[in-house]
Amino acid sequence: MAERTTDREGGATAPEGGASVVHSRAADRPAGTDLSIAVVEAVAEAKGVAPTEMEETLYDAVDPDALDRLFTDRETGELAGRVVFELDAHEVTVQSNGDILVRQTGPR
């Protein structure tokens, strides 16, 4: 399960039905979960909706297959880096270790 935190910086509050910030740790997900699936689930959680109810698809922002392949050897710890993109009024940061951070950037 993803860790949910509310972005309190600047007095922001969580939108009704969702969190302003969602942190999905790779260690908390079942082994073998594709990054693309984990990203969709984290953004849906931040929006407070089911993944199938999202207005935009992951493919609108990034190629899901490329995202899945980008950090395929993350278990070895040899890769370092991150990918940042926007999806459905949220900034998504995917770390090389598989952790995902989702922050709301616009209105729901």
| Number of domain units in the chain | 1
Could you tell me if residue 84 is inside a domain? no
> How does pLDDT run across 84-94, given as a tens digit for each residue?
999 989 999 99
> How does pLDDT run across 42-77, given as a tens digit for each residue?
999 998 999 999 999 999 999 999 998 887 765 565
Whether the predicted pLDDT of 9 surpasses 80: no
- How far apart CA 61 and CA 41 sit, in angstroms, is 15
Could you tell me if residue 85 is inside a domain? no
Closest CA to 96 of 33, 87, 75: 75
Mean pLDDT, range 4-26, rounded to an integer: 56
Domain of 11, in residue numbers: 1-32+44-77+94-108
Length of the chain: 108
pLDDT attached to residue 77:
56
**Other CB atoms within 10 A of residue 4 CB:** 15
Please tell me the pTM assigned to this model: 0.76
Could you tell me if residue 83 is inside a domain? no
